[in-house]
Structure 1
Amino acid sequence: MKASELRGKDVAALEKEVTDLLKAHFGLRMQKATQQLSNTTQLGKIRRDIARVKTVLAEKKKGA
């Protein structure tokens, strides 16, 4: 997910994206805890995506 793609979305879509990513991150954490997660790099990617979306969301809220 690129920041340029995120900047084209509105605030409601970004907030929904954050909640979806948080749910996905929780699922991956549970898989890791039960040793079912084979590709642990997914956790870092999801965390970076969450940070990216939250940054764009903060920019939009500050600009509005």
Structure 2
Amino acid sequence: MKNLEIAALSVEELNEKIGTEVESLQKLNFAHSISPIENPMKIRQAKKLIARLKTELRAKELAK
């Protein structure tokens, strides 16, 4: 997901997206702890996406 797409989301959509991404990150971590996943870089990408979403959410909160 690109930064322009993230910036276009509303606060409610950002909260929803953060929830789904955190859930998918937990599933990735669980799957990786049981047996190594094929592409462990997916974990890092998921963490960075969550950070981008939270940053945009915070920026929108401060703008109000």
Give the ranges of 4+ consecutive aligned residues of structure 1 lying more than 6 Å apart after TM superposition: none
Q: 1: CA distance between counterparts of 2:34 and 2:52?
A: 28
* Matching residue of 2:26: 26
Q: TM-score, normalised by structure 2?
A: 0.95
User: Where does structure 1 lack aligned partners over 5 or more consecutive residues?
Assistant: none
Q: After alignment, is 21-30 or 32-41 more displaced?
A: 32-41
Instruction: Count how many residue pairs are aligned between Structure 1 and Structure 2.
Output: 64
State, as a whole percentage, how many aligned pairs show the same letter.
22
Q: TM-score, normalised by structure 1?
A: 0.95
Q: 2: CA distance between counterparts of 1:23 and 1:11?
A: 19
RMSD of the TM alignment (CA)? 0.8
